[in-house]
Amino acid sequence: MTSFESKTVRIAHAVEKVYALLSDLSNLDRFQSVLNAPENRSKLKITGYDCDSLSIEVSPIGSVTFRIVNREPNKTIKFEAENSPLPLNLWIQFVPTGENETASRVTVKAELNPFIKPLVSKPLQEGVDKMADMLLVLPYEQ
């Protein structure tokens, strides 16, 4: 497995609020405007979601569903990809760093063969960094 870790970001909200928003994917309703902002749109389109899963269309890969497989309150949310051409897992880690601050990092682990690794390593790294950046602008106060 190859691991891709985002930079650590510091979210200006308590860990309980951050975890509460992100651990229930039906909360996507609350931040669709952030996800659909021109600077956040790239080759990714959300095609469906519920409390435990998120389906996206990724160009040129196709449709991938991420399902939450483990929630550790105020610590981690772990996802597993379904229908993905590459077996991969994703998780978001949270560490309280103050009363109203949370450090967070996104990690992806993927099974990459030697032929595909050079092609997807850079986009996967950019993807986890972009996800971490998006954690900074979500509406945790609603």
* pLDDT classification of 137: cutoffs 50, 70, 90: confident
In angstroms, rounded to a whole number, what is the distance separating the alpha carbons of residues 7 and 76? 16
Query: Cα dist. 96→86, 99, 132, 135 in Å?
Result: 32, 7, 16, 14
pLDDT bracket for residue 73 (50, 70, 90): very high
Give the Cα separation of 35 and 31 in Å (integer): 6
Side chain identity at residue 131, one-letter code: M
Cα distances (Å, whole numbers) of residue 58 to 20, 75, 84, 120: 26, 28, 10, 13
Contact call for residues 84 and 66 (beta carbons, < 8 A)? no
Q: Is residue 124 within a helix (H) or strand (E), and if so which, with residue range?
A: helix 117-135
pLDDT at residue 98, as a whole number = 92
Note the pTM of the prediction, 2 decimals: 0.87
The amino acid occupying position 88 is: L
The dotted CATH code for 2-135 is: 3.30.530.20
